[in-house]
Structure 1
Amino acid sequence: MDNDSPGPPYPYDWVPGLLWGKALVRERRIVIRDPLEPLPDGVKDSGGLVSVVSNAVVIWSRVDAGPVHIRVNYGFEPLRAPTSTWEGREEVAFVSSTGVMEIDDLIPIGEPGDHGYPLNLAFRGPGRYGLLVHGRSRRLSARVAPKEVGESYMLYVWPQETT
């Protein structure tokens, strides 16, 4: 590769750094998927924070449309730190068959090239991953679109061993 970021296959001990940005909510959904695959039909609100379907994850927002803050952390093991300042929390697992899982409509914050790699939640390639999603400021009515970014989400992703 021409830049300093590792490319597949990634070194065993490499993990992406923290990424933050804004994601655009559409129809109350923040979609994480392989950008070359369509979102499966019939994704319904699970009543929780997150729904997992084939090659996709949907985070359910309380607003119909607009920007929300997103922070993505990566690791090799589940997060053990306390997260009491977050109102909602849900842990799920997803499988990436292609090794690419990106957040639709993500606008990274920072200068171009700050991150040095594309956002990919399946950072170790195809396989099974754990995803811990935290939500904050989700008390707004679902019918009100905020004038400013109010909702925030922290995502923590790690590869899971297959048995």
Structure 2
Amino acid sequence: MASLIDRVHDPRLFVAHATLDLIDLDTFEDVPLDYYAANGLVSARENYAAVVCATEGGDIDVTAELWDAPPALHLDDWQDAAEISFTWTTTGICIGPGEEDPEDTHQLALPGPGTYRLLVHGRHRDDGDVRDEGDPVETYLLQLWPAPLAGPVTHKAASRFGASLRSEGAEPKGQVPSWFCADPWRTTHRDRPAAPGGLLHRRPLQDLQPRRPRLLISTSTS
């Protein structure tokens, strides 16, 4: 049975540029990732993972957990869930570091360098960028554990925001929503309500690509 090693939670974590970044401050390079075309949720490379958010600049609710083995899968409370593998060459991972003071951030202490699996859950992803008080807060659960490198898996894909990011033909596996089709652009336009004047509430697909991170500080956390 899997055991929880460490857990951090922030109900008001500020994100900028529409991404929740997981980085190592000492090795981070300001090079954008492949933007989430496979699952509409998360992407990664060595020493860097990022979750794409509907909130471009604002507070989100984030929980990050480190496990010693794959945790039990619970999907009912989430719109989207996907897992990926990556390599981490240090022993610390920063969760959503800020630009003004990146060292003052939540961290998980890893058992060592190696390969890891990251399972990301997301909900309230269809409520737009600017949210009023009382609107649902965009919420994420990140679960991380040591594991060999393996292919990506999409467990659930129910948000329209995620569908607008997936590439054509990137059909999710697992709990596939009934509205899903191979062309996410056509699907999301069909299902979205129209704003006054016939304009869609959300911007065109090409404008949904998150801007590249602007964190340029490289500081050792040891």
Determine if the TM-score, normalized by the shorter chain, exceeds 0.5.
Answer: yes
Tell me, in whole angstroms, the C-alpha distance in 1 between the residues paired with 2:15 and 2:90.
24
Any gaps of 5 or more consecutive residues in structure 2?
99-105, 150-222
- Offset at residue 44 of structure 1 (A): 4.0
> Contact conserved, 2:84 with 2:119, CA < 8 A, in 1?
yes
Query: What is the identity, as a one-letter code, of the residue corresponding to 1:138?
Result: R
Higher helix share goes to which structure?
2
The Cα offsets for residues 79-138 of structure 1, whole Å up to 9 and x where unpaired, read as 2232211001010112111122111337xxxxxxxxxxx622x51111111110000100
* Equivalences for residues 47-66 of structure 1 within 5 A: 47=37, 48-66=40-58
> Contact conserved, 1:23 with 1:30, CA < 8 A, in 2?
no
| Bigger relative CO (Cα 8 Å, ≥ 6 apart) | 1
- Offset at residue 24 of structure 1 (A): 1.7
Larger Rg: 2
Range that drifts further, 58-67 or 43-52: 43-52
- Offset at residue 36 of structure 1 (A): 1.7
Change in Cα spacing, 1:119 to 1:42, as seen in structure 2 (3 Å) is closer
Tell me, in whole angstroms, the C-alpha distance in 2 between the residues paired with 1:135 and 1:14.
20
Q: Give the secondary-structure state (helix, strand or coil) at the position aligned to 1:15.
A: strand
Change in Cα spacing, 1:26 to 1:39, as seen in structure 2 (3 Å) is farther
Query: What is the identity, as a one-letter code, of the residue corresponding to 1:72?
Result: A
Tell me, in whole angstroms, the C-alpha distance in 1 between the residues paired with 2:4 and 2:41.
29
1:27 matches 2:17? yes
Tell me, in whole angstroms, the C-alpha distance in 1 between the residues paired with 2:49 and 2:4.
24
Tell me, in whole angstroms, the C-alpha distance in 1 between the residues paired with 2:43 and 2:68.
23
Tell me, in whole angstroms, the C-alpha distance in 1 between the residues paired with 2:59 and 2:147.
30
> Contact conserved, 1:40 with 1:54, CA < 8 A, in 2?
no
Change in Cα spacing, 1:161 to 1:93, as seen in structure 2 (3 Å) is closer
- Offset at residue 161 of structure 1 (A): 4.5
1:145 matches 2:156? no
Q: Indicate the residue corresponding to 2:77 in structure 1.
A: 85
Higher strand share goes to which structure?
1
Question: What TM-score does the superposition give when structure 1 sets the normalisation length?
Answer: 0.73
Q: Indicate the residue corresponding to 1:98 in structure 2.
A: 90
* Equivalences for residues 114-133 of structure 1 within 5 A: 119-120=107-108, 123-133=110-120
Any gaps of 5 or more consecutive residues in structure 1?
1-12, 107-117
Q: Give the secondary-structure state (helix, strand or coil) at the position aligned to 1:24.
A: strand
Alignment root-mean-square deviation, CA: 2.3
Change in Cα spacing, 1:132 to 1:119, as seen in structure 2 (3 Å) is same
Tell me, in whole angstroms, the C-alpha distance in 1 between the residues paired with 2:34 and 2:85.
18
Q: Give the secondary-structure state (helix, strand or coil) at the position aligned to 2:5.
A: coil
Change in Cα spacing, 1:14 to 1:133, as seen in structure 2 (3 Å) is closer
Say how many residue pairs are matched: 135
Q: Which runs of 4+ in 1 moved over 6 A?
A: none
Tell me, in whole angstroms, the C-alpha distance in 2 between the residues paired with 1:70 and 1:84.
18
Q: Give the secondary-structure state (helix, strand or coil) at the position aligned to 1:81.
A: coil
Tell me, in whole angstroms, the C-alpha distance in 1 between the residues paired with 2:4 and 2:61.
25
Identity across aligned pairs (percent)? 24
